[in-house]
Amino acid sequence: MQKTEVSTVEIKRQIEDNSFKWYVLSVVAGQEELVIENLKERVKKQNLEDGVADFMSPVVNEYSIKKGEKITKTRKLYPGYVFIKSKMNDKIWYIVRNTPGVRLIVGAETRPIPLTEDEYQNIITQIEKSQERSELIIPYKIGDVVMLKT
């Protein structure tokens, strides 16, 4: 029972902290960019831009070679999720949870819980590693039969 009280106090402290924090939104897969645009529009209409610093839906460019041409594909690192850096207050929280395409704010049922600094750093590290790995995808492996055209 004590642990629940401590976590509730911690959640309340994080919410009342007036600094920008990253929050995770679960959104309809494939609509991440649309949700970001809708959120930006709604925040602007309500004059709450001071309370929202950034939105993020990390993507990685993957390169492959098909028919001798370099092809670039964009892949979402976290499909179905959008990150928002915000001073989450009741007004912003209301806008976020009532934006079309937003399924839920990851965290508690009654109040959003921000990412910890460690969680945020892990996400940034994953993004950086994915960008390094995605330089060139070669569609062949050793032992594949290939036909050369001259």
Over the stretch 51-65, which tens digit does the pLDDT of each residue have? 999 999 988 888 777
What does the angle CA 74 – CA 80 – CA 82 come to, to the nearest 5 degrees? 85
Domains and CATH numbers, the chain: 20-133 (3.30.70.940)
Mean pLDDT of 22-50: 94
Instruction: Give me the pLDDT at residue 142, please.
Output: 86
Give pLDDT tens digits for 71-125.
Answer: 888 889 899 999 999 998 889 999 998 999 999 888 766 778 899 889 999 988 9
**What pLDDT score was predicted for residue 2?**
39
Average pLDDT across the chain, whole number: 83
CA distance 102 to 107: 14
Rounded to an integer, the average pLDDT of 129-145 is: 73
Q: Nearest 5 degrees, angle CA 60-CA 64-CA 66?
A: 145
